[in-house]
Structure formats: structure tokens, C-alpha cells
Amino acid sequence: MTSIKAANAKEVASYVIAIANEKLKALKEATFSKKTIVSKGYPRVQKQHDNLVLSLAPNLKNLNGLILWYDKPQLFHCYAYDLTTDCYDPLDPNGNITVTFDIIQWTHDGYVARVSIQNYYQYRHVDNPGWKLGFTWVNNEIIWSISGAIATHRGNCSVIKEEEVPHCCMSTPEIVDLMSGTQPPNSPENCCRGGVLAASAINPQQSSSSFDMVVGNLQGNSSLQMPRMPVNLTLQAPGPGYTCSPTEETPPSVALVVGGRREEEVFKTWKSTCTYSSYLANKTPVCCVSLSTFYSPQITTCPQCSCGCRPADKATSSCISGSSNSLETEFVGNSDTLRCTDHMCPLRVHWHIKTNYMDHWRVKLTVTNLNYNRNYTNWNLVVHHPGFSQSTTTYSFNNTLLHTPGIPDDVALFWGLDYYNTNLLNADKDQVGSVSTEILLAKDHKTFTLHNGWALPRTVYFAGENCVMPSPDTFPMLPSGTSICRPFGILMILLIVYLNFKLVKF
């Protein structure tokens, strides 16, 4: 298949992926048990699946309106056929940003709406310069005033013959949050944080934002001419990547007042759910993972060209990220300067198995910033590893376990300590920026092993972005013909040697 018409892209993609999925299923069943697929062979099988799809339709990636994004498949499946389709993350299946419009009061020509933006993502936050909310009016509405936010443009208000000048007359307004410390009187409680929303698992109190707006120009009593909900919601948080569902009317929100003694319903509630797609936001990955162990001199580096390929001149130390037409994102700009590497990722996560004790084992986890132009504030890291189901001690990061329905409690979330390492500083010509911690993990002797890469992470996310993992066949391996004995066995051997020495001496 050498060419495909864009008009038939969806049908062709469905056909190609259906064939590939059938062959992938057959290959799994013939080669691996379910347990082996997850722990050892699945990434390699999936790679064959990806190659099969691209061989069946070599220019699918270039079709208008068609996205094929294959990442570490054991955690991220995203086969999107148009720009409204989002990726599903099984580690955070309920993650989204919900926008709610609550009509809390009627006016002579409209209503007062409280707009709330709630971040339900466990480990994806909205960083500076903050969120930007857009929508389209369908009934020539105007915004008389806003409390707790501001419209970026006023628009043409010449048709409004009133003494009061409206705040915004645009049919497609864009709203941004006010900066911290500028909260006006009588504004909502969660306003004025510069548009920053914390991840819900890290700081739930700072994961929402709200503002009030007085909407008018509905001509007449709103109880007779019912208002129509805004449409075509857009959310930049702070860059691209979010797709919002159509606005829907839901049961009215209920608020507790008078110290929780009374419930008050709003008059109407409209909601839209916005979900994130890494492909729409970044096009290419932004981070990769490298591995090392105390029992092997081999260091598994990030896969070559994980986030792009370095220039042919190996003597070049500084490289420009992306191209002139690439998107500006929160992770890397199209003119950012990176330290030249074979993987060309602005961020690298390194997992080093440091020590093996009798009842514990120790890991050093390091995040390195190779971007010369950008700090990463309020970073976080998600690591999926079965060892986290046991007791752990983390020395230089905050951490918690993510509790996801259907997934064992073996996914750990890490983030920086306040006033110590919440900022991942940029690199310079002399050194890279980095944050690191050591982690002490208790052993479950029934499952713990250093064989077959068990002690290495399954998946790593940086700020919600899936990092490129090395292929399992490149993992550091135990020396050939040796095995790691349990400390109890070593002690028994030493005891026998000691007793023999005593007997000989006697």
C-alpha cells in the first residue's frame, strides 16, 4: 500500500489496526503466558505489532486527520483516529479536568455563573503561565463583569447602548486567571492563583480554580427565555494537548451553607470534561530512562533517538531542540538549547540498584535536566514497580502510593520537598541540573529477585509524560553462570567455615 486518500483514513486505519491486533493476539497466545507478557515479553511483541501496522500502511502517520501514536503499550494505548480522541492511561483512568458552569443567580437580562475548573489528574498539574479557557456563545451573550478572572480581549462593544461598558463582547471569549495576591473583594475562594492547578494526589486543596461572571444581553426574563450553554470549549493548560467534550446539562450542583446545616442547589449546571493527549501536546517524547546495577558493569543508556536524533557532528555539545514548525510546549520550546546526546531528550531518569541487604534493597533515583533554557517547577515522577507494594523509605523526595482500581498498589508518585528540591534547575555548560533520592525497599522474599530485570522499573512518567524505556533485551544482566544468593545463605556458609576452622584448631 503506497498511498491512501485522506478521506478514507479512518476506515483504512481501522482495517489496518484490526489486522495487526489479530496477529498480535495470536502471537501472544502462541508465545507467552499472561504473566510473562507483562513482565518479560510483551514490549517485544508489541514492537512487532507496531512494525506490522506501519508496514501495512507506511504513510499512515502522514495522513490528515489521522494520528498513530505507539508508546510503551503495557500502560499507554492510544490509537486515535481524529483530533477529538484522547489517550487512556490505566494508571489514572479517571484523570481529567472538569469545567463546570453553575448558574447561581438570575439578573434582568441574564444570569450570574460561577465557573469552576477542577483538576482530577493524580499526577498531571497545570504550571505557569496557567490555564486559558475558551468557549463560544450561541445567543449573542456578553460578559458584563468577571470576579476572580479576566477576559484577554474586550472585543467590539459598540452595539451595546448602555452606560456600563461590558467586560467582554466577543462571541468567543478567552478567560485567564488573576495572579496571586490580586484577589478582588467578593471573589470566589479558589480564584487568583495565576492559573496554576496542582495535581490532585499531591495537593488537592490547590487543584481547583473558580471565578464568577455576570452574563447578559439575553433580552427579557431569563426564567422565560432559558439561557443556552456555551459550546466548543477549549483549554490550554498551559499549552496544547487538551480536548474538551461537548457541554452537557447535569443535575444542579449542591452547596452546603450555614456551617453545613443547609443545602442549596444552583439553578442550572453545565459541565464539560477535558482530557489530555501526549501526542497532541508534544508529538515526540520528552524524557527517557537509563538503568544500572551494582552487580553489572553494564549501563543501559536511553534508547538512541528517543526524543530526536543528534547532529552527525559528534563534537557538537549544544543542540537546538525540535524544528522551526514544532509546537512550543511546557516541556521544551522549539528554540530551546539542549545538551547534545544520542537520545536528545531534555529529561533523563536514571534508576540504579545500589545495594542488596538481607531484608531490604536500596535504589538511587535521579532526574536530570539537559535543557539549557528551562527549569521544571513542581515536577513529579511516577514509577511503576512491584517492589513498592512493600514498605519503603524515601530520603529526599515526598512520595505516596497511587491507588488505582484494578491495579495493585505498586505505583509510586514522587515529588520535591518544599524549599529544597521542588525546582529542577536547567543545565549549563559545566553541569546538568538534577534531583535525586535514595529509596530503601523492604523485600518480599517470595517474589524478590535480581534475575530477568525484575528489580528494574516497568514504566516511568515525568509530570504525566510517559518516558521512553530501554528494550528489555538491553537490561543489565547478572554475570553469566552466577546467581545472587540470599544473605541468609551467605551467613550459613560463613558459619560452616567458621565451625570447620574451630574444629581444625581444636
Mean pLDDT in residue range 1-6: 36
* pLDDT value of position 327: 55
Asked if residues 101 and 33 have their Cβ atoms less than 8 Å apart, the reply is: no
Mean pLDDT in residue range 315-321: 77
Mean pLDDT in residue range 478-482: 67
Local structure of residue 123 (DSSP, 8 states) = S
d(CA 299, CA 349): 13
Q: What is the tens place of the pLDDT at every residue in 6-36?
A: 334 444 445 445 555 555 455 444 443 333 3
DSSP readout, 200-252?
A: TTT-GGGSEEEEEEEEE---S-TTTS-----EEEEEESSSS-EEEPPPEEESP
| Banded pLDDT at 38 (limits 50, 70, 90) | very low
Among 242-256, 402-416, 472-486, name the one with the lowest average pLDDT: 472-486
Asked if residues 167 and 153 have their Cβ atoms less than 8 Å apart, the reply is: no
Identify each DSSP E strand in 51-161 by its residue range.
69-70, 77-78, 97-106, 111-119, 132-136, 142-147, 149-151
Mean pLDDT in residue range 461-480: 90
Among 155-164, 281-290, 491-500, name the one with the lowest average pLDDT: 491-500
Query: Which helix (H) or strand (E) element contains residue 494?
Result: helix 487-505
b/e string for 141-171 if b means 16 or more Cβ within 10 A? bbbbebbbbbbeeebeeeeeeeeeebbbbbe
Identify each DSSP E strand in 137-190 by its residue range.
142-147, 149-151, 174-177
Structure-model confidence comparison of residues 79 and 94, the more confident one: 94
* pLDDT value of position 6: 35
Average pLDDT in the chain: 80
* pLDDT value of position 258: 86
d(CA 329, CA 237): 10
Count of Cβ atoms closer than 10 Å to residue 250 Cβ: 11
d(CA 349, CA 363): 13
Among 41-50, 213-222, 268-277, name the one with the lowest average pLDDT: 41-50
Cell numbers found for residue 58: 507506511
Percentage of the chain lying above the pLDDT 70 cut: 74
Structure-model confidence comparison of residues 319 and 32, the more confident one: 319
| Banded pLDDT at 185 (limits 50, 70, 90) | confident
Q: Which positions ≥6 away from 36 have C-beta within 8 Å?
A: none
* pLDDT value of position 66: 29
Q: What is the tens place of the pLDDT at every residue in 112-135?
A: 999 999 999 999 999 988 999 999
* pLDDT value of position 239: 80
Among 25-29, 71-75, 235-239, 356-360, name the one with the lowest average pLDDT: 71-75
Mean pLDDT in residue range 357-370: 95
d(CA 215, CA 112): 6
Q: Where are the alpha helices (DSSP H) in 357-471?
A: none
d(CA 500, CA 77): 60
- Bridge pairing between strands 142-147 and 392-394: unpaired
pLDDT of 491 over the 80 cut:
no
| Banded pLDDT at 489 (limits 50, 70, 90) | low
Asked if residues 158 and 257 have their Cβ atoms less than 8 Å apart, the reply is: no
d(CA 56, CA 34): 27
- Bridge pairing between strands 149-151 and 248-250: unpaired
* pLDDT value of position 440: 97
Omega of the bond leading into 238 within 30 degrees of 0 (cis): yes
- Bridge pairing between strands 242-244 and 111-119: unpaired
